[in-house]
Chain A
Amino acid sequence: MRQPRIQPTPGANPDDPPVQRPPQEPHGPRPGPNYLGIPGRTAIVQGQVFLVAAIVIVQLRLITDALYELLSGRASLLGWVTLVSGLGFVLALVVTFWPRRRIEER
């Protein structure tokens, strides 16, 4: 049985519009076209929620390990665990407040 020949196409779907690079700004590529509107803000806040939730999950693991170490009588690692948890909190603060400030500045 003869196989149909597959013609190479420039994209996955020939009907797709041509891919264009996003416009560049001094600090990097500009966000999507409607990033200041409601859908854009929703997407940003959704991303913030996911990131902070991931940080909280890591912190839950850290406090579990800290309690285990404390009850095992080994306190030498607890300072480092607290430091990492604090860095997670600082990161969560940055993730929460930094994008909102940038939106308000524009």
Chain B
Amino acid sequence: MEHEMQAQEQPGREMPSPAGPQGTGRTRRSDQEEWRAEFPYPWSEDEIVTRRDTLRFLLAGSGALFLGTGVLAIVGTLPSGAQVKAVPVARVGELAENEWRVFEFPDQYAQGILINLPGKGLVAYSDVCTHLSCAVTYQGASKQLYCPCHEGFFDAATGNVLAGPPTRPLPLIELAVQDGIIYAVKVVPR
């Protein structure tokens, strides 16, 4: 479109003719000149990158990807630097059945959800949905954890996915009781 407008604005420019052998030849020449102007590589340099160069480049890329994957694996085996402190989340008997509470764990940037499940007792999970990280809430009637963003449902007894777009279960949070206080101890990714 831009080229057409430029061509109309330049009266001296050679315009393609729709009919006749001369017109066709002129069109071809004009197209070629335009192509050369936009892609000014001389033919003598057209074979700078040979197939063998491409092959070497791909081989180097393959090695780099292998090394990169290895680095990720090594990083994955390193112990996490920060020591997680046990965080008090509730007192024993504070939550009635089907009551729940959100608490900050392991730091102020992440949250967990503590639920007193009927017949099972206290359970805690990370409240970050494993789909796109929205916060889940507890629905006592169905004993499910619900993500309102994309209708994800998790089993409150296990943290496993029941329905919706999430594919992974919620990370567990291990609890410990000491002196009548319930502590969140550790996040267990699954």
Chain A interface residues (CB < 8 Å from chain B): 42, 45-46, 48-49, 52-53, 55-56, 59-60, 62-63, 66-67, 69-70, 72-75, 78-79, 81-82, 85-86, 88-89, 92-93, 96
Contacts and interface: CB of A to CB of B under 8 A. Distances in A.
A49 B69 contact: no
Interface string B14-57: 00000000000000000000000000000000000001101110
Given A59-B65, A92-B63, 9 more contacts: A52-B55, A59-B66, A66-B72, A66-B73, A79-B73, A82-B70, A82-B72, A89-B65, A92-B58
A48 B76 CA distance: 34
B62 A52 contact: yes
Name the residue among B51, B63, B69, B70 with the largest chain A CB count within 10 angstroms: B69
B72 A45 contact: no
Given A59-B65, A88-B66, A81 B51 contact: no
B59 interface: yes
Main secondary structure of the interface of B (DSSP, over half): helix
B61 interface: yes
A82 B51 CA distance: 28
A54 to B, nearest CB: 10
Interface of B: 51-52, 54-56, 58-59, 61-63, 65-66, 68-70, 72-73, 75-77, 168, 171, 189-190
A48 B56 CA distance: 10
Given A42-B51, A49-B51, A52-B55, A73 B77 contact: no
B168 A62 contact: no
Contacts of A49: 51, 54-55, 58
Contact of A63 (B54, B59, B63, B72): B72
Given A66-B73, A79-B73, A86 B66 contact: yes
List the 10 closest pairs (A to B, CB-CB), nearest first. A75-B76, A73-B189, A78-B73, A59-B65, A89-B66, A92-B62, A85-B69, A52-B58, A82-B73, A45-B51
Contacts of B70: 82, 85-86
Contacts of B65: 56, 59-60, 62-63, 85, 89
Nearest to B65: A59
A78 B59 contact: no
A88 B92 CA distance: 55
A90 to B, nearest CB: 9
A67 B70 CA distance: 11
B72 A67 contact: yes
